[in-house]
Amino acid sequence: MVQEKAKILLHRKIARDHYRMRLKAPSAARGARPGQFIHIRCREESPYDPLLRRPISLVDVDPTGGTLDIVYKVMGLGTRALAQMPEGSKADFIGPLGKPFAFPPKGKRAVLIGGGVGIPPLVFLAKELLKKKIKATAFLGARTKEWVICRDDFRKLGVPVHVATDDGTLGFHGSVVDRAAESGRVAPATRHFLGSRDSAASVAGDLVFYICGPTGMMKAAAALARRRGIPAQVSLEERMGCAMGCCMGCVVEVNTEPVGSHARFQRVCTEGPVFPAEAVLWR
Amino acid sequence: MATQLKVQLGPLKLQNPVLVASGTFGYGEEYNRLYDVSRLGGIVTKSISLKPRSGNPVPRIYETPSGMINAIGLQNVGLEAFIQKKMPFLRSLKGPRIIVNIVGDRISEYVELAARLEDVKGIDGLELNLSCPNCERGGIEFGVNPKLTAEVIRKVRRRTRRAIIAKLSPNVTDVTLIARAAAEAGADALSLINTLLALAVDASTWRPRIATVTGGLSGPAVKPVALRMVWQVRRALPKTPIIGLGGIMTARDAVEFLLCGANAVQLGTVNYVNPKAPLEVIAGLKSYLAERKLKSPSALVGKLQVPERLRGLPQVVTG
Ligand SMILES: Cc1cc2nc3c(=O)[nH]c(=O)nc-3n(C[C@H](O)[C@H](O)[C@H](O)COP(=O)(O)OP(=O)(O)OC[C@H]3O[C@@H](n4cnc5c(N)ncnc54)[C@H](O)[C@@H]3O)c2cc1C
Ligand SMILES: Cc1cc2nc3c(=O)[nH]c(=O)nc-3n(C[C@H](O)[C@H](O)[C@H](O)COP(=O)(O)O)c2cc1C
């Protein structure tokens, strides 16, 4: 883990409100794993507004070229300031941070379920899964067509992509979790990924879910996994202060410890952002 | 003689006047992954309570212009785990003074914490977090009442030979009353300020931004308030060692605190923003002094240039 001012090698708009940034950061790139993130400073000078850094997941890492890529959506003050940083200038980041996704044993198939800005970490994950010869399929959802980001990244990797949009402008009209559940019932081609309810036991045994997106979506996807007996990992989001494990700001309630003990709250930045889906107490 | 940064803070000798503040630096190990924390003047731990605390519901933090509000609820590992799991690393650091910040719901808890830490090796001082509701007095903060403040310090004083630093709350009308009570009760030094009680609102949902409604404001936004309080306490207590904190981001901010009367400084929220800030402040302070041919940080302490006619102002009267 390092804190560094890294040169911005590339900074492009990739969709409405979405940007991709590439940082030259050889030492951080060496050990980075899928599911990890960087904590990036959006403005450095007084009046320090925004004051805090922003956590953004790694969408791709090139250890040989020594680069880190992120994809982010302009949400507010921080990401708006970030979008102003020109190529060639330097960005101050800390990373890589957080606990990565755990790889499944050989022979399993990975189902990647991503919503909105939860999609990027799944791209890096898909790349590393394929290196380990683990097959992956992506189910991507967003509010509208333009926000279904990173489809090309998955295609380049040869990962089949299924899309759902809330407004029906692209792919399945509805939630990506319904789309994923649907695929087991109506689409024979993808049946082996999710299985029907009847054959859940035999087929689901081969699957692993990786889920990242808005809370409602993650909760639904985690419930789907539980119903089908499929192990699932979720990558959670919370407002972060330090991202170093010190401020205790980004905690989530998990049920790995008896309620009332001090370990009830775990830090998204340190024990997470990836948690076993069954540990999370969804609110 | 060349410029050097050593300072004496009551009984404590510091290699430089830059400490890191409680709750913003964990137990030291976390930031040691980014740089060598043995270069710091001192490390103040997260507040430790007798029993582990699980803290408040979320959201616990909210960012405000040039600041942040937090209501963590003193989530910490508790005394036993602190001694077993966190002290070994802190003890291994040769450079910085190790200050353990303690907190309790009642006076007897502060006393017990001090007593049980007395035999633990590698601790240089105790910082008393007085911004904690006293459950025996209807939840009033210890640090807003001079009598309670004095009582806690007097009783802890009897149980420890270590340096006692009283960390003052800014949520009072006249901080000098509390500061005087703390010094007279036996505190070796005062640190100020803790966070300012604050509230942020979401006008869309009509809800508070923090689960517990109110929280503590920190960061650059509070610096002017902190400077004012340090200056007031320095005028009231010319001899008492003071550690100034609140919104320090740069070496120049630290210089401002020294000019107002602080002998040393703590860096808090800035650790989140720029983890290497403590090193930058140490280096920046050294060059600031060297450029002015000043031999030591003490050359700046209390040197704020105030117009002659305002020097003998009566102290602020309490309401
Ligand atoms: C581990 C992790 C990885 C992430 N990875 C990515 C990524 O790869 N790409 C990406 O675009 N984003 C990612 N995010 C989210 C990103 O950090 C936030 O969108 C960003 O911090 C918003 O900052 P801002 O200053 O632009 O918006 P702000 O001004 O802070 O907020 C804008 C709006 O969004 C709301 N909001 C912002 N953050 C949160 C939150 N955490 N919870 C609830 N509401 C919130 C605010 O209330 C406000 O309405 C990640 C977050 C985490 C914790
Ligand atoms: C997230 C957070 C947690 C804190 N926890 C503690 C604590 O446990 N004990 C304490 O005495 N002060 C605590 N503080 C207060 C700081 O030590 C410091 O007094 C305050 O933040 C002002 O300094 P700053 O503006 O440099 O941060 C905390 C501050 C923050 C931001």
ipTM: 0.91
Q: What is the CATH number of domain A2-97?
A: 2.40.30.10
What confidence tier does A192 reach under pLDDT thresholds 50, 70, 90? very low
DSSP helix/strand/coil, B145 = coil
Give pTM, 2 decimals. Answer: 0.93
The domain locations on chain A are 2-97, 109-236, 238-283
The pLDDT of residue A186 is above 50? no
Q: Which of B61, B74, B76, B212 to mutate to test binding with chain A, by most A CBs within 10 Å of its CB? A: B61
The domain locations on chain B are 7-310
- Among candidate residues B129, B100, B122, B115, the one with its CA nearest the CA of residue B19: B100
User: For chain B, which residues score pLDDT lower than 70?
Assistant: 1, 135, 137-139, 312-319
Domain B7-310 has CATH 2.60.40.10: no
- Per-residue CA distances from B208 to A190, B196, B213 (Å): 46, 17, 5
Intrachain domains A2-97 and A109-236 with the same fold: no
For residue range A111-127, what is the model confidence (pLDDT) as tens digits?
A: 999 999 999 999 999 99
For residue range A26-51, what is the model confidence (pLDDT) as tens digits?
A: 999 999 999 999 999 998 777 789 99
For residue range B173-210, what is the model confidence (pLDDT) as tens digits?
A: 999 999 999 999 999 999 999 999 999 999 999 999 99
Mutate to test the pocket of ligand 1, among B60, B61, B62, B63 (most ligand atoms within 8 A of CB): B63
Q: In angstroms, rounded to a whole number, what is the distance separating the alpha carbons of residues A256 and B139? A: 32
**DSSP class of residue A116?**
G
Q: What is the CATH number of domain A109-236?
A: 3.40.50.80
pLDDT at B140: 79
CA–CA–CA angle B80, A99, A20 (5° rounding): 140
Nearest to B34 among A1, A46, A239 (CB): A1
Q: What is the dihedral of CA A44, A47, A52, A53, to 10 degrees?
A: -20
- Residues 6 or more apart whose CB falls under 8 angstroms from that of A194 comprise A111, A180, A181, A183, A184, A203, A204, A207, A228
Decide if A216 contacts A255 (C-beta within 8 A): no
Q: How many CA atoms lie within 13 A of A79 on its CB side?
A: 16
Active site residues of B: 132
The sign one gets for the Cα dihedral A97, A102, A103, A109 is negative
Residue B272 Cα, gap to closest chain A Cα (Å):
4
